Amino acid sequence: MGWGDMDPSNGSRLDVCFGVFNASNGHDPAQSSIASPWFSTAFGLIGLGSNLFALCVLLSSSRKLSSQARSSFLVFLCGLVVTDFMGLLVTASVIIPYHFIKFAWAKVDPGCHLCNFLGFSMVFFGQCPLLLGATMAGERFFGINRPFSRSTSVSKRRAWSIVGLVWGFSCLLGLLPVLGLGRYTLQYPGSWCFLTLLPDTGDIIFCLLFALLGIFSVLLSFVFNTVSVVTLCRVYHDRESVQRRRDSEVEMMVQLVGIMIIATICWMPLLIFIVQMVLQQLPAKGQLQMLPTEMQKMLLIYIRMVTWNQILDPWVYILFRRAVLQRIYPGLRPRPSIASLYPVLNLSLRRKLTPS
């Protein structure tokens, strides 16, 4: 019996993750044209190769650095690249075989374990980059605007601890449907699982939690990065500071702004779509049992846009490094640290550190 033939009202365990859309065991020509195995394979290989290349460049750069602020920033970048790489690897290891084999999910995974794992992976590896982007923006905000508000910059160990906390929080978020809040269900065209956009109380809460947290992360990144960019622009246009350019800070901000722009373009359409769908379906609570076909297709398009985030993120670092930027703008040259942005405080620190 295929999962398209199941009665949604029978209350079986299979209905927990199957039956949200009308499937036909993968033999529908329309679904076959959408789920091209070669396209998915090429897409995944490009993403994995890009992240591996960026990781090698990051590890090579981290060995040559003496700046603690830059080192901690590279730790966050490394965490982002590792997250994107693992996200592509885990999801592709399930989705690509489906495109080639076209297996029946209900027969292969009658207990919904594989579907729950894939849904968890989509949420975990989706939310992590957004939270890491906001974390990096916050770290640079305090590093540029409040350089003397803490005794030292974030150490590598503390930076990795922060990355670990982000991973842990995203993991807890992804486990909520497994613990009973919301559901992971098979999505059109039958190759992936994700949160359920139906007017059930648990689904509504989980969808809003996921979407609003993502939107908040993007907006927080925008605020932090905007203030940091304005601060750097004031320094660059200050006549007394023309010769004290902060090239390292500019390099990090260019990369952060690039990451933020990509995350906004790739993620905001999906997050806004989820919020709109959930709020529009609130009056139909308990009545709508299946997402309309057009909405299923729109969700697939938005998810594919999100996947580009994992592919483009590593290229932000690869292309916007100082070595590349100096070729585009030869005027960039190594300058003193961010401390000289505040000459009065810097002078007072020197006096304190100088033996009497």
Ranges 4-13, 76-85, 294-303, 309-318: which has the least confidence: 4-13
Confirm whether 187 is domain-assigned: yes
- Residue 153: which residues within 8 A CB-CB, separation 6 or more? 68, 69, 72, 143
Would you call 219 helix, strand, or coil by DSSP? Answer: helix
At residue 194, what are phi and psi to the nearest 5 degrees? -155, 180
Ranges 83-87, 140-144, 217-221, 290-294: which has the least confidence: 290-294
- Look at residue 81 and tell me whether its pLDDT is greater than 60: yes
Query: Quick one: what percent of the chain has pLDDT higher than 90?
Result: 34
Nearest C-alpha neighbor of 136 from the set 70, 57, 214, 82: 70
* pLDDT for position 283: 67
DSSP 229-241: HHHHHHHHH-GGG
Mean pLDDT (whole number) for 89-103? 86
Confirm whether 168 is domain-assigned: yes
Tens-place pLDDT, residues 308-331: 998 998 888 888 776 665 666 555
Tens-place pLDDT, residues 154-192: 778 888 999 999 999 999 999 999 898 989 998 888 888
Confirm whether 312 is domain-assigned: yes
Q: What is the DSSP letter of 153?
A: P
Please give the single-letter amino acid code of residue 162: I
- Look at residue 2 and tell me whether its pLDDT is greater than 50: no
Mean pLDDT (whole number) for 289-298? 82
Structural domain boundaries enclosing 92:
36-325
- Residue 226: which residues within 8 A CB-CB, separation 6 or more? none
> Which residues sit opposite 252 in a β-bridge?
none
Tens-place pLDDT, residues 17-37: 776 665 544 445 445 555 567
DSSP 95-128: HHHHHHH---HHHH-TTSHHHHHHHHHHHHHHHH
State how many domains the chain has. Answer: 1
Confirm whether 15 is domain-assigned: no
The number of helix segments (H) and strand segments (E) in the chain equals: 11, 2
Confirm whether 48 is domain-assigned: yes
142: its two tokens:
């305090």
- First and final C-alpha spacing in the chain: 87
Confirm whether 7 is domain-assigned: no
Is pLDDT larger for residue 178 or for residue 344? 178
Average pLDDT, rounded, for the chain: 78
Nearest C-alpha neighbor of 52 from the set 90, 78, 76, 75: 78
Tens-place pLDDT, residues 8-20: 344 444 457 776 6
CB-CB contact of 144 with 75 (8 Å): no
Residue 155, CB half-sphere, CA atoms under 13 Å: how many? 5
**Rounded distance, CA 154 to CA 162, Å?**
10
320: its two tokens:
């916007």
Confirm whether 68 is domain-assigned: yes
Nearest C-alpha neighbor of 102 from the set 42, 36, 16, 20: 36
- Residue 339: which residues within 8 A CB-CB, separation 6 or more? 147, 148, 345, 346, 349
- The phi-psi region of residue 80 (left if phi > 0; otherwise alpha if psi is between -120 and 50; otherwise beta) is alpha
Q: pTM for the full model? A: 0.80
Confirm whether 178 is domain-assigned: yes
Confidence of residue 350 (pLDDT cuts 50, 70, 90): very low
Confidence of residue 336 (pLDDT cuts 50, 70, 90): very low
**Rounded distance, CA 200 to CA 211, Å?**
16
Ranges 129-138, 144-153, 173-182, 317-326: which has the least confidence: 144-153
Domain CATH number, residue 47? 1.20.1070.10
